[in-house]
């Protein structure tokens, strides 16, 4: 079943985070992920608000988790760790 990769992000170092984004996009695509929302308008109804929200659709939970642990994504993530505060989850869809 398809899965959604959902990230809520506060960028604290735009230059370093830009490098993350440059590397993360191709890593996500390599694992079958496609972005369906990136930084668009949102309304926070509950919980901690983060100004950047990203959703990517993957073929499965396993594909999303494999992407996260891949060498390509881990290289990208190295740029995001000290450049942002973030939460990331993968959720299986019902279709």
Distances (CA, A) of 8 to 37, 88, 90: 11, 7, 12
Q: Is 17 exposed, middle or buried, given 0-12, 13-18 or 19+ CB atoms closer than 10 A? A: buried
Half-sphere exposure in the Cβ direction for 74 (13 Å, CA): 5
Q: What percent of the chain has pLDDT over 90?
A: 96
Question: Which residues lie closer than 8 Å to 47 by C-beta, 6 or more apart?
Answer: none
Q: How confident is the model at residue 22 (pLDDT cuts 50, 70, 90)?
A: very high
| pTM summary value | 0.90
Q: What is the mean pLDDT of residues 60-70?
A: 98
Contact present, 7 and 88 (Cβ < 8 Å): yes
Top-level CATH class of 3-92?
Answer: alpha beta
Q: What is the mean pLDDT of residues 10-14?
A: 96
Q: What is the mean pLDDT of residues 61-65?
A: 98
| Per-residue model confidence (pLDDT) at position 39 | 85
| Per-residue model confidence (pLDDT) at position 95 | 75
The number of beta carbons lying within 10 Å of the beta carbon of residue 29 is 13
| Per-residue model confidence (pLDDT) at position 61 | 98
| Per-residue model confidence (pLDDT) at position 5 | 98
- What is the domain partition of the chain in residue ranges? 3-92
């Amino acid at each position: 079943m398809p899965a959604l990769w959902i990230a809520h992000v506060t960028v604290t170092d735009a230059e370093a985070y830009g490098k993350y984004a440059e590397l993360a996009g191709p890593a996500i695509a390599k694992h079958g992920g496609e972005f369906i929302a990136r930084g668009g308008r949102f309304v926070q109804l509950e919980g901690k608000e983060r100004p950047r929200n990203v959703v990517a659709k993957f073929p499965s939970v396993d594909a999303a988790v494999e992407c996260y642990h891949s060498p390509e994504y881990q290289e990208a993530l190295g740029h995001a760790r000290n450049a942002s505060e973030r939460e990331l989850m993968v959720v299986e869809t019902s279709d």
